[in-house]
Structure 1
């Protein structure tokens, strides 16, 4: 092992039981040798040099390319040692700190998400094979943080609880119009349509998500009440009683926060309510990790609340409630990673080995970020008037209890259409 890499690892890894096998076959032990043993093998000198210079990008890329293998333990075990010792912040070396500093300086250029670029970025990730998502998501294809009210919940139960939790915060009244910005595969829009006499519009930039959402609406006979469109939020002109956005804000980009909230303020009716569900960070603003930006979510960015709240304040919207979900996404990602690994052979048939290794690192790295770094999920409830909602949060619990009774297994699993099917109500401008 080259002396620079060895000195960096020795300085950073003080606890844990890590062994690194270098390209020549020599084993090097790091940490205090307590805990589960984790052994990683670096197969090439190229990977060794690259990790020395820029570990935050080179480590996942070397794993993707088969230049690093886990010999004992798995990726999550490795990342636990790294993150609990260092947080993987700046990787300890001067040149690595310089690289991360440059990424922060240039992050606004990397997040210039014009309408054309935003659609291109979305297609890179969300227009992958629909079978891929069916192999690791829950039955409703919820690709966002679940809500674990009990530790023994299944993924399906926790995702259903998430939908109830969001619906309760929206405080939907019969006959209202609802906008779902970044509707994904349509699960939340369909849930709101089934359980409330509301007219729901879901928008996405993914053609694959749009196709699946429309298919599901037609299969359930709900197309008269829910509608899906391929549309950028900046192109909206109609006004809505309720707005919900789940897992989309991470793709807006820090340059466009004011535009996003200004648009939401414009299209939200005077007595309207909005709920924003997004990944965030409990620490200060940072840059998107280079692996995620390059290979997983181009144009994506996880904001600090200190970047989000000023844009909300300037838009004229009022914050009526903020909730922080801490380990819920870590547990969600654990389920996804387990299902992905259980179906790895089939996923490799769809794509290839490199794709599988890339997604293994993405899922393990994301779970580790929520368990041992500063990642969390925030839900921000917004209104335009101080008197729109009750002055206590009791109404949320009451709605969740009612929906839980409706969702109970003894009612059957077949989705029920609204009581009054018919033509879709016209949304008012």
Structure 2
């Protein structure tokens, strides 16, 4: 069959290390790789599934796995991604479908991410049952890349280190006003008030579930006088702030809205203010986000490269004062989330269904693969309106982290 020949040629090219066994719908077996680990065996349940994978592999691999038309009989979906991606080394740009992907990327760039569309996209993912996220995130529900400042750090410790690292770069001092764009479940805003000593924090989100949880947490911490969370698009926010932080939100903005985003941030930032943008991105050239992810997990999402962001930053009149690139940190974060998710799979099944479980296992494995074997990274970009508001050397980051770590200990004792 034609589909067998196409798949055999593709797998021969992709799988250099490890072992991939393919069983076709007709029962024919093919083996690829060097016979080593990982060893994965897949089986197609119908010939149409094979042809679908040939025609649109980036979309159909996830769909076929979720629909159980591609069955993994040995190994895991993560192991399959490893076999297919670990030796590609940027060769995706050389594949025959390159032109179609570029056209799709161009069309995506034409779609403005207006307020109504942004809220719908956020609700699709972030307004799921809150019990789901409690099963695999850390206790603070940090749903973004952790910062593993030590190789043996656990998820809880690494997420706390992430907040500390960001707060140090923000240089938050007593009395500062802070805007948190995309405030999640409130953990960053509460940290900036409780530990860093911000005078006031305004967190804005488009997720009703996250808003409810954030407000409850602020009330429970006795911080309603200093920390406020609002159901609000950042484009509707008014006022001027000493500090602006945005963690894990920019991925949802979309290239057509980059100018508006950075222009809005500049207008909200005081003359001597500092902003820290923490976003997933890519280290390669502009390329469309995986279509399965945008269809089922993060509609409207796009992972930017620096060359897409920098022109908009420059046009907005902002100055880049520091860029840090976190490479494998998110792979370690996603590994922890995936392991926790699978450990609580039966509980997730009671909340949703088997198809949802398979979809989220695929999502977590696919995302981890992107950071381990492709070019996904995390950018931390520090921005200002003036070039004299940030110290001349980066020594202040470690110094402030030490101060914040001591403050965390004091806050823990106070709360005990």
State the shift of 1:407 in Å: 2.4
TM-score normalised by L of structure 1: 0.93
Q: Tell whether 2:70 aligns with 1:68.
A: yes
Q: Which segments of 5 or more consecutive residues in structure 1 lack a partner in the other structure?
A: 417-429
C-alpha spacing 1:393/1:7, structure 2 compared with 1 (3 Å): closer
Match of 1:426 in 2: none
Q: 1: distance between equivalents of 2:263 and 2:127?
A: 28
Q: 1: distance between equivalents of 2:199 and 2:361?
A: 39
Q: 2: distance between equivalents of 1:314 and 1:154?
A: 40
Q: Residue 34 of structure 1 is aligned with which of 33, 36, 48?
A: 36
Match of 2:169 in 1: 169
Q: Deviations over 1:302-356 (max 9, x none)?
A: 0000111111111111111110101000000000000000011111111111111
Match of 1:17 in 2: 19
Q: 1: distance between equivalents of 2:135 and 2:412?
A: 24
Q: Tell whether 2:330 aligns with 1:329.
A: yes
Q: 2: distance between equivalents of 1:203 and 1:67?
A: 41
Q: Tell whether 2:389 aligns with 1:385.
A: no
Q: Deviations over 1:358-410 (max 9, x none)?
A: 111110010010011001001011111111122111221111111112324x8
Q: 1: distance between equivalents of 2:396 and 2:9?
A: 57
Q: Tell whether 2:85 aligns with 1:83.
A: yes
Q: Tell whether 2:145 aligns with 1:148.
A: no
State the shift of 1:244 in Å: 0.3
Q: 2: distance between equivalents of 1:285 and 1:93?
A: 16
Which secondary structure state, in structure 1, belongs to the residue aligned with residue 35 of structure 2?
coil
Which secondary structure state, in structure 1, belongs to the residue aligned with residue 371 of structure 2?
helix
Q: Give runs of aligned pairs for residues 391-410 of structure 1, distance below 5 A.
A: 391-408=392-409
TM-score normalised by L of structure 2: 0.95
Match of 1:185 in 2: 185
After TM superposition, the runs of 4+ consecutive aligned structure 1 residues lying more than 6 A away are none
Question: Do the aligned partners of 2:194 and 2:411 also contact (CA within 8 Å) in 1?
Answer: no
Q: Tell whether 2:307 aligns with 1:306.
A: yes
State the shift of 1:8 in Å: 2.7
Q: 2: distance between equivalents of 1:327 and 1:91?
A: 22
Question: Do the aligned partners of 1:149 and 1:161 also contact (CA within 8 Å) in 2?
Answer: yes
Match of 2:208 in 1: 207
State the shift of 1:3 in Å: 2.4
Question: Do the aligned partners of 1:205 and 1:231 also contact (CA within 8 Å) in 2?
Answer: yes
Match of 2:249 in 1: 248
C-alpha spacing 1:89/1:343, structure 2 compared with 1 (3 Å): farther
C-alpha spacing 1:412/1:199, structure 2 compared with 1 (3 Å): closer
Which secondary structure state, in structure 2, belongs to the residue aligned with residue 86 of structure 1?
coil
Match of 1:338 in 2: 339
Q: 2: distance between equivalents of 1:348 and 1:238?
A: 44
Q: 2: distance between equivalents of 1:79 and 1:227?
A: 42
Which secondary structure state, in structure 1, belongs to the residue aligned with residue 37 of structure 2?
coil
Which secondary structure state, in structure 2, belongs to the residue aligned with residue 85 of structure 1?
coil
State the shift of 1:87 in Å: 5.5
Q: Give runs of aligned pairs for residues 76-115 of structure 1, distance below 5 A.
A: 76-86=78-88, 90=92, 94=96, 96-109=97-110, 111-115=111-115
Instruction: Kindly tell me the number of residue pairs found equivalent between the two proteins.
Output: 413
Cα RMSD (Å)? 1.7
Q: Which segments of 5 or more consecutive residues in structure 2 lack a partner in the other structure?
A: none
Q: Deviations over 1:268-297 (max 9, x none)?
A: 000100000000100011111100110001
Q: 2: distance between equivalents of 1:376 and 1:271?
A: 29
Q: 2: distance between equivalents of 1:224 and 1:108?
A: 41
Question: Do the aligned partners of 2:38 and 2:83 also contact (CA within 8 Å) in 1?
Answer: no
Question: Do the aligned partners of 2:19 and 2:32 also contact (CA within 8 Å) in 1?
Answer: yes
Q: Tell whether 2:128 aligns with 1:128.
A: yes
Which secondary structure state, in structure 1, belongs to the residue aligned with residue 87 of structure 2?
helix
Match of 1:427 in 2: none
Which secondary structure state, in structure 1, belongs to the residue aligned with residue 191 of structure 2?
helix
State the shift of 1:90 in Å: 4.5
State the shift of 1:44 in Å: 2.1
